[in-house]
Amino acid sequence: MNNQTPVHISIVLDRSGSMASIADDVVGGFNTFLGEQRKQDGGGRVTLVQFDGQDPFEVLINGESLDEVRDLDPARYIPRDNTPLYDAVGQMITKIDAEILERADAGKPIEDQVVVIVTDGFENASREFTGKAISDLIETRRSRAWAFVFLGADESTFEEGAALGVSKANTAQWAATGEGTAAMFASVSKETTTYRSMGPAERTRKSDRFLEDENE
């Protein structure tokens, strides 16, 4: 019997207009990621949220079991508008916080948290959260061993990740092409699989070194 703590993987996905040329690649990469995670023992859940200026927090997959979650329908990922990155990340953290309390009240098992942020650009439209507010939120939760992963296609990805409070070893730049998108999701899937196979102490260490092997 597998007694590992289940993992909740929460993905914050940019659906701004600049993602249009790789929309099919994003869906394909994400669905490949799901397929690989379904194969692994240990249980766990996945949440997928997409964001743009028209809707900064649209939930596509809401805490579904990795054993049962269905692939993302390409018709549900249609890039448009601009990039309220801070609002999307802030609302995701708020959602996870609320769910942790609800699960505790219901006597459900605790979960280890992995939050993956995928964007090809930079913040330009948030109204609710500032960069400083997001950095503070992330710093507090990193102290609880949440793993935050920042994947950006912009040339200033590492500066943007650092400004958000994400560790350098949890940050990577990807190419906004078909091949680059596939490679990005493959990297995240590989490291997520490794993380899910680890014990508590190893997970705590990896939470701030999530992409360490990929960045070497």
Hey, what are 138's tokens? Answer: 């992330």
Q: For residue 171, what pLDDT is reported? A: 98
Handedness of CA 119, 100, 166, 28 (dihedral sign): negative
DSSP letter string, 150-177 = EEE-STTHHHHHHHHT--GGGEEE--SS
The reply to whether 167 falls in a domain is yes
Q: Sorting pLDDT into bands at 50, 70 and 90, what band is 1?
A: very low
The reply to whether 1 falls in a domain is no
**Which amino acid is present at 207?**
S
Enumerate the β-bridge partners of residue 47. 10
The reply to whether 73 falls in a domain is yes
φ, ψ at 64 (rounded to 5°): -80, 150
Handedness of CA 24, 30, 33, 39 (dihedral sign): negative
Cα-based distances in Å from 46 to 81, 153, 162: 26, 23, 25
Q: For residue 208, what pLDDT is reported? A: 97
End-to-end Cα separation, the chain, in angstroms: 35
Give the chain's mean pLDDT: 96
Domain count, the chain: 1
**Which amino acid is present at 63?**
G
Q: By residue range, what is the domain housing residue 135? A: 7-215
Q: Sorting pLDDT into bands at 50, 70 and 90, what band is 215?
A: low
- Rounded average pLDDT over 120-135: 95
Residue with tokens 């996945």: 46
pTM over 0.85: yes
- Convert the pLDDT of each residue in 6-60 to its tens digit: 999 999 999 999 999 999 999 999 999 999 999 998 889 999 999 999 999 999 9
The reply to whether 35 falls in a domain is yes
The reply to whether 49 falls in a domain is yes
The whole-angstrom separation of Cα 157 and Cα 120 is 9
The whole-angstrom separation of Cα 121 and Cα 70 is 28
Q: For residue 92, what pLDDT is reported? A: 98
The whole-angstrom separation of Cα 71 and Cα 193 is 18
The reply to whether 96 falls in a domain is yes
Q: For residue 212, what pLDDT is reported? A: 85
Handedness of CA 74, 79, 80, 86 (dihedral sign): positive
Q: What is the CATH number of the domain that holds 54?
A: 3.40.50.410
The reply to whether 138 falls in a domain is yes
pLDDT surpassing 90 at residue 187: yes
The whole-angstrom separation of Cα 28 and Cα 5 is 28
- Convert the pLDDT of each residue in 49-95 to its tens digit: 999 999 999 999 999 999 999 999 999 999 999 999 999 999 999 99
The reply to whether 47 falls in a domain is yes
pLDDT surpassing 90 at residue 3: no
Hey, what are 32's tokens? Answer: 């490949």
Q: For residue 43, what pLDDT is reported? A: 87
